[in-house]
Structure 1
Amino acid sequence: MVTIYDIAKKTGFSVTTVSKALNNYADVSEKTKKLILEAVEEMNYFPNSSARTLTTKKSWTIGVIFIESLGIGIKHPFFNEVIESFKQSVEMYEYDLLIVSRNLYNSKKSYLDHFRYRGVDGVVVVCSNVDDEQVKELMNDPIPSVVIDLSSETSSVVFSDNRLGSKMAVDYLYSLGHTKIAHIAGHEKTFAGQQRLQGYLESMKTLSLDVVEDYVVDGDYFSHEGGYLAMKQLLALESPPTAIYAASDSLAIGAIEAIRDHGFDVPKDFSMIGYDDIALARYMNPKLTTIRQNTHEIGQKAAELLLKQINTKEKLIEQVKIPVELIVRESCRKL
């Protein structure tokens, strides 16, 4: 059986350096880590979990919580892609993930209680609900944690630049000649919904465009149905918009369906831009113009922040804002 001593002998590094590299310590260079991890893979090195736990005082397990309001769980496209990226990043350092259900078998036990019981080394939370009390409890606790899709002053957080994404969307529609631009917003209790709405309002003001009260419509929790119902409201207006910026691709897809059901066309009658760049966006007819979130970088950066806390044994408070990108396809036209 291959041991850590064999890895040290092959790479020429000390056993201590190899151990630090495997545990992602900050005082080992990325070049050294890369060489050691390549040797680990080549030699099929598998550390003994029990011995490693006793030696390092770690469980080598990271808790995962996902909180969303559509009831589709792990199949949620944003959650799925972010956690897959996070998973790939921490697996390089031999960590396993423990995904905890929203409905714990003991309703009196909080997420924090559950994770303490299971002895996890850290926790990653995907949550956009700014009012979730159990997430607030986690963020305020000394346990290493990183929260995705929220802003906080008590925990490390990673989120997309939602306001910049809104600016990109509105600016693009304006560049095509649109001035009557509506917004189908995400739920007011979600961080992304709040930020994207704020970005829309700021962008409209910067461009000296009137924000018609009826042009801002609630799309609920970013759902297809929410987009459909919101678009029906816009279509019923005496003076409907010529372009719509939806706070998610699911909202945009629902809105496009409503437009078609009422005998209109995208982009001939209405231009539509979404947010997220889910896989379906590029296969629609017309292909959806949207704001792309870099889910790979979000997951990777969240992993880096959490592993840094685990290894330094310090609660770190950092905010990382991930850039977004405008993806131009076929759902918008020039006036």
Structure 2
Amino acid sequence: MVSMKDIAKCCDVSIATVSKALNGHKDIGEETKRKIKEAAAKMGYYPNSAARALKTHRSYNIGVLLNDEAHSGLTHEYFSAVLEGVRVEAESMGYDITFINTHNSKMTYYEHCKYRDLDGVIIACTDFETPEVLELIDGVIPTVTIDYIFNNCTSVVSDNVKGMRELVQYVYNMGHRRISYIHGQREKAVTRDRLAAYYNILEELDVEIRDEYVKPSLYLDSEKAEEATYELLDLKEPPTCIIYPDDLSVTGGINALRSRGLNVPDDISVAGYDGIKLSQMLNPRITTVKQDTDIIGRTAARELINEIEKPKNAFAKRVMVQGEVLPGESVGKVAM
């Protein structure tokens, strides 16, 4: 069996240098890293995970908690793309991924993580205020949340305020003044940020804010979005543009519009959020805010692993990731 000592002898370096190179330490030159990794690959070296865990007191395994209310999980493009970013970054830093699932056991999330000996956990798309999640957040296992803010752990969030402001500004620039917003659950930080941004930008633009134009729905629920759309269409003066909580919800809205014989964008405009591929494949192509899912996922993994490996340097922070408006074909121009 090939050992680090064999690789060190082959490359004429110390065993410590080999260890650092194979574990991605930054104090080793790139050329030396390349040489050592190539030699390890040619010689058929495989690290002994049990020995590494014994030496470092880490399992090199991080958990992912994904439990959304719509039960879409990995079937939803946004979350699967975020988690792909998590996976790629974690693997590049020598860590594996384990999904946390307690459906078939009596263990809580925290107990499951301890049972699996996870080094840390990324929490995404869940009801963050449940006792089980709070137990996990308050425990000794390092945690990072995605799109939710706690004071005692690092959060990686999209800049929802900037995203919503820029989307409303775009719709306004297209001539719309009757702009409606169907939002997700009010208790979510994402919703609160987007709602505040919606109200603020309309006030700055001196656009009348109509309470009847703001309708509640659920994220990733096309049926609820369809119902809310009907309510807006039944108003004495319906909006000329409807902004939906996510791109999937837009499909429900379009169903409602078409059932009333309305054409997008000639009769009414719509816009979404997330920028999933589906939104750019629909006809008409949806105007939306594209979130940088790869950066969100990679950043979450990097922040968590840094906390695992350098606990003395760790402190709770909020990392903001920027998105961008994708001008599609679903928002038409309105004569001013």
TM-score, normalized by the shorter chain, greater than 0.5: yes
1:28 equivalent in alignment to 2:27: yes
Residue 69 of structure 1: aligned partner: 69
Instruction: Judge which range, 256-265 or 97-106, deviates more.
Output: 97-106
Residue 328 of structure 2: aligned partner: 329
Alpha-carbon shift at residue 216 of structure 1 (Å): 0.3
Residue 279 of structure 2: aligned partner: 281
Residue 217 of structure 1: aligned partner: 215
Contact residue 17 and residue 28 of structure 1 kept, 8 A: no
- Percent identical: 34
Alpha-carbon shift at residue 51 of structure 1 (Å): 1.7
Query: Among residues 141, 145, 148, which one is paired with 1:147 in the alignment?
Result: 145
Alpha-carbon shift at residue 282 of structure 1 (Å): 0.9
Q: Aligned partner of 1:317: which letter?
A: A
Unaligned runs of 5+ in 2: none
Alpha-carbon shift at residue 7 of structure 1 (Å): 4.9
Residue 204 of structure 1: aligned partner: 202
Alpha-carbon shift at residue 78 of structure 1 (Å): 1.9
Alpha-carbon shift at residue 157 of structure 1 (Å): 0.9
Q: Aligned partner of 1:324: which letter?
A: G
What is the alpha-carbon distance in structure 1 between the residues aligned to residue 99 and residue 53 of structure 2?
20
What is the alpha-carbon distance in structure 2 between the residues aligned to residue 269 and residue 92 of structure 1?
49
Instruction: Judge which range, 165-174 or 194-203, deviates more.
Output: 194-203
Q: After superposition, what is the alpha-carbon deviation per residue over 1:117-171, rounded to whole angstroms, capped at 9, x for unaligned? A: 2211111111353423322222222311111111121001101001111001100
Q: Which protein has the larger Cα radius of gyration, Structure 1 or Structure 2?
A: 2
- Structure 2 CA distance for partners of 1:218 and 1:98, relative to 1, 3 Å: same
Alignment of 1:131-280 (within 5 A): 131-280=129-278
What is the alpha-carbon distance in structure 2 between the residues aligned to residue 171 and residue 279 of structure 1?
23
Alpha-carbon shift at residue 28 of structure 1 (Å): 3.2
Residue 4 of structure 1: aligned partner: 4
Contact residue 22 and residue 33 of structure 2 kept, 8 A: no
What is the alpha-carbon distance in structure 2 between the residues aligned to residue 244 and residue 33 of structure 1?
56
Question: The residue matched to 2:272 in structure 1 has which SS?
Answer: strand
Contact residue 266 and residue 286 of structure 1 kept, 8 A: yes
Q: Aligned partner of 1:205: which letter?
A: E
- Structure 2 CA distance for partners of 1:93 and 1:3, relative to 1, 3 Å: farther
- Structure 2 CA distance for partners of 1:172 and 1:12, relative to 1, 3 Å: farther
Q: After superposition, what is the alpha-carbon deviation per residue over 1:33-63, rounded to whole angstroms, capped at 9, x for unaligned? A: 9637853785454211222222222112111
Question: The residue matched to 1:276 in structure 2 has which SS?
Answer: coil
- Structure 2 CA distance for partners of 1:128 and 1:162, relative to 1, 3 Å: farther
Contact residue 87 and residue 97 of structure 2 kept, 8 A: yes
Equivalent residues, number: 332
Question: The residue matched to 2:148 in structure 1 has which SS?
Answer: coil
Contact residue 22 and residue 37 of structure 2 kept, 8 A: no
What is the alpha-carbon distance in structure 1 between the residues aligned to residue 291 and residue 36 of structure 2?
29
Q: Aligned partner of 2:217: which letter?
A: G
Residue 319 of structure 1: aligned partner: 318
Contact residue 130 and residue 191 of structure 1 kept, 8 A: no
Alpha-carbon shift at residue 9 of structure 1 (Å): 5.5
Contact residue 8 and residue 14 of structure 1 kept, 8 A: yes
What is the alpha-carbon distance in structure 1 between the residues aligned to residue 36 and residue 157 of structure 2?
29
Contact residue 196 and residue 247 of structure 1 kept, 8 A: no
Instruction: Judge which range, 11-20 or 178-187, deviates more.
Output: 11-20
Contact residue 130 and residue 189 of structure 1 kept, 8 A: no
- Structure 2 CA distance for partners of 1:20 and 1:264, relative to 1, 3 Å: same
Tell me the C-alpha RMSD between the 2 structures.
Answer: 2.3
TM value normalised by structure 2: 0.91
- Structure 2 CA distance for partners of 1:213 and 1:136, relative to 1, 3 Å: same
Contact residue 22 and residue 93 of structure 1 kept, 8 A: no
- Structure 2 CA distance for partners of 1:37 and 1:149, relative to 1, 3 Å: farther
Question: The residue matched to 1:63 in structure 2 has which SS?
Answer: strand
What is the alpha-carbon distance in structure 1 between the residues aligned to residue 28 and residue 194 of structure 2?
38
Residue 55 of structure 2: aligned partner: 55
Alpha-carbon shift at residue 229 of structure 1 (Å): 1.0
Contact residue 241 and residue 269 of structure 2 kept, 8 A: yes
What is the alpha-carbon distance in structure 2 between the residues aligned to residue 211 and residue 8 of structure 1?
69
Alpha-carbon shift at residue 265 of structure 1 (Å): 0.7
Question: The residue matched to 1:275 in structure 2 has which SS?
Answer: coil
